[in-house]
Chain A
Amino acid sequence: MDAGAAKLIGAGISVIALFGVGIGLGNLFSSLVKSIARNPSAKNDLVSTGMLCFALLESIALLAFVVAMIILFTA
């Protein structure tokens, strides 16, 4: 296999991490909606905490993205 093809396949494999991030995001937002439905008066606190968790979770997806970009665009 030549190096170019291996690079493309490697970049594709590196974004498998998005599988876990998808599960995590679904989990996070389902619990967020559930907790707001149970206690609507706590919505402001819950949303700000949820957004913080969202950003932390998203950073894992972006790490995978950075790895893919490093594989693709560096020699």
Chain B
Amino acid sequence: MANDPMAAFVVKNVLPMELFGLDISITNSSLYMFLVVLLVCALFWIGTSDRGLVPGKIQCVLEKLFSFTRDVVNTNAGARGAVLFPYLFALFLFIAFGNVVGLFPFAFSFTSQLVVTVGMAVVVFVSSIVIGLFAQGLGFFQRFCPSGIPGYLIPFFIVIELMSFLFRPLSLGIRLFANMVSGHIMIDVIAGFAASIAGVVAVSFLAVVPVAVDVLLNVFKLVVCMLQAYVFTVLSCMYLSESLEAPAH
């Protein structure tokens, strides 16, 4: 294949480092993570440095992001979920900015690495278990055995509930990963169409069509980026707030 669509996802070693035999090199993936964190911090620093009752341009955007996430947490976790807000807001900003930064030409999208997305999902999963054990004690395990089902069905229910519970981090991580990767590959493949049409002299003007489709796809991708960040935040919020609640059954 002349134009390999997977080439955009290769992790390159930028700054090789080693600490006590552990490989802690700066790759382009972690470099972009640092960049995104710096970007978010800088935006908040600038936006809130001259804050006023009448918000400026950047403050407007930040307030919108803040109130949007607060509404998400309020509707999904209620008043009890206020303790989750700082973590979920950081998660939302990190994913959303990472997705959007990855859309720029030649930029690397770290959310298209399975290890990054599943890593974030596993953090949510483990903390939901730990929070659940602290908040509910052994009542946490009641969720695997819903009340009001006939006795002979209980073993099946426990197995099914356990499986769906254990599959959560994987599905949460793979959803974000697959959305990002598929969008990038789609844009790459259609750009490849433009290149191969432009090579045929007689109809080279038709190469405008795939380029136009690419522009539309980029807009669609921008929507998907924000939507996936939203979905990741909502699902994390639901998982974490489930653990905060008193046992329902």
Binding site for B on A (CB under 8 A): 51-52, 55-56, 58-59, 62-63, 65-66, 69, 73
B178 partner residues in chain A, CB cutoff 8 A? 59, 62-63, 65-66
Given contacts A62-B179, A65-B182, contact A51 B174 (CB under 8 A): no
Q: Which of B175, B181, B228, B230 has most chain A Cβ within 10 Å?
A: B175
Q: Is the CB of B231 within 8 A of A55?
A: yes
Return B4 CB to nearest CB of chain A, in Å.
8
Closest-by-CB residue of A relative to B71 is: A48
A62 partner residues in chain B, CB cutoff 8 A? 174-175, 178-179, 182
Chain B interface residue number, banded: 10 to 19
Return A22 CB to nearest CB of chain B, in Å.
16
B227 partner residues in chain A, CB cutoff 8 A? 51, 55
B182 partner residues in chain A, CB cutoff 8 A? 62, 65-66
13 example contacts (A-B, Cβ-Cβ < 8 A) are as follows A52-B231, A52-B234, A55-B228, A62-B175, A62-B178, A63-B174, A63-B178, A65-B178, A66-B177, A66-B181, A66-B182, A69-B6, A73-B6
A65 partner residues in chain B, CB cutoff 8 A? 178, 182
Q: Is the CB of B181 within 8 A of A69?
A: yes
Q: How many A-B residue pairs have CB under 8 A?
A: 34
Closest-by-CB residue of B relative to A45 is: B75
CA A65 to CA B178, docked complex, whole Å: 8
- Is B171 an interface residue when CB atoms closer than 8 A count as contact? yes
Q: Is the CB of B175 within 8 A of A69?
A: no
Which residues of B (145-202) have their CB < 8 Å from a CB of A? 171, 174-175, 177-179, 181-182, 185
B179 partner residues in chain A, CB cutoff 8 A? 58-59, 62
Return A4 CB to nearest CB of chain B, in Å.
12
> Told that A59-B179, A69-B185 touch, could you supply 8 new A-B pairs with CB distance under 8 A?
A52-B231, A55-B231, A56-B175, A59-B171, A63-B178, A65-B178, A65-B182, A66-B177
Return B179 CB to nearest CB of chain A, in Å.
6
Shortest 7 CB-CB contacts between residues of A and residues of B: A62-B178, A59-B175, A55-B231, A66-B178, A65-B182, A62-B182, A73-B6
CA A63 to CA B227, docked complex, whole Å: 17
Return A72 CB to nearest CB of chain B, in Å.
9
Closest-by-CB residue of A relative to B172 is: A59
Return A32 CB to nearest CB of chain B, in Å.
15
Q: Is the CB of B175 within 8 A of A55?
A: yes
